[in-house]
Amino acid sequence: MAVDIRRVPVLHSLVMRILDYFCLLLACAFSCRATDDGLTTDVTWDEYSLSVKGERVFIFGGEFHYERLPNPELWRDVFQKYKANGLNAVSIYFFWSYHSAAKGTFDFKTPGKDVQRLFDIAKEEGLYVIARPGPYCNAEVRFWVLAQC
């Protein structure tokens, strides 16, 4: 004998309540999983903002194209100006054609291309880095597609 739960209000209410709790539990499980990539727990996020080491952080950043200013001695000054203007982050494109002028060769060590030095200066100046690896940069670079062929 089959029972139509819609005709028994108490049973229908109970089943719907169980389904609601199950959906809520499932949503919580997935949202908790989404804030932890398994690599670090220093950076987490929710629907409102990022948290870094448990402290809520709002990102205020600007773009910096270090290949347009290939003198590392000037990078610190730029970052200090970012900081003085209230920014706490810098977004950096990594132009592949700048680091790989010929197929199979890569240069991250010469002074104007030393990204580790760039990261170190940003850290020393108290800026978060939003790294944006290429190949596409959308920074008004001419013939970027042809450079990759």
**Segment 70-80, tens digit of pLDDT:** 999 999 999 99
43 within domain boundaries: no
Query: Are 142 and 74 in the same domain?
Result: yes
Return d(Cα 121, Cα 76) in angstroms, integer.
6
129: phi then psi, degrees, rounded to nearest 5: -115, 125
CA 124 to chain centre: 20
What's the pLDDT band for 37 if we cut at 50, 70, 90?
Answer: low
Query: Are 28 and 65 in the same domain?
Result: no
Counting the structural domains of the chain, the total is 2
Give the model's pLDDT for residue 99. Answer: 83
Query: Are 27 and 85 in the same domain?
Result: no
47 within domain boundaries: no
pTM: 0.66
Average pLDDT over residues 43-59: 89
- The DSSP 8-state label assigned to residue 38 in this structure reads S
Q: Do 50 and 59 touch, CB atoms closer than 8 A?
A: yes
Q: What is the CA radius of gyration of the chain?
A: 25
Give the model's pLDDT for residue 143. Answer: 56
45 within domain boundaries: no
Give the domain extent around 100: 59-148
What's the pLDDT band for 33 if we cut at 50, 70, 90?
Answer: very low
Query: Are 77 and 25 in the same domain?
Result: no
